[in-house]
Amino acid sequence: MESVVLELPFMSQEFNHSPKWTMSGANLVLMLEYQTETGEYQPASLTFYQVSKYSYFSPGEGGPDMAKAYDRLIRLSPERALSLPTYRIFFDERGSFEVTCKSVVFDFKGTKQEIA
């Protein structure tokens, strides 16, 4: 069973650019740039720690379940009880990301929130 662990406080249709991801050691950083109410663009990020696997799916790939992750981070059920969790997020017209990792931190307006 999947569960929502984060609802983005902004809409992906208001991104200035497609999300950018970079690897630093075993960590993956997903950089986002969203539009504020005043029309300015501000950065936000999701950092996935101790990543064991990640995938990108272009829009239209990944099947009908992708819509459940629209502008939200969901935790998918692990296939085995001792497995690391897999997280999925889907962005409007940008595609989706799936990451298997130990933990996730959301950095928004300079405040870091540990998700899992």
Q: What residues contact residue 1 under an 8 Å CB cut-off, 6+ apart? A: 77
| pLDDT tens-digit map of 58-93 | 877 766 677 788 899 999 877 665 588 999 999 877
Quote the tokens at residue 89. 């997020």
Q: What's the mean pLDDT in 94-115?
A: 92
Predicted pLDDT at 85: 92
Total domains in the chain come to 1
- Residue 5 has what pLDDT? 95
The reported pLDDT for the residue numbered 38 is 92
Quote the domain boundaries for residue 30: 3-114
Average pLDDT over all residues of the chain: 88
Dihedral angle over CA of 71, 75, 25, 34, nearest 10: 10
Q: What proportion of the chain, given as a percentage, has pLDDT over 70?
A: 92
Six-digit token pair at 29? 């950083």
Q: Environment class of residue 110 by beta-carbon count within 10 Å: exposed (0-12), middle (13-18) or buried (19+)?
A: exposed
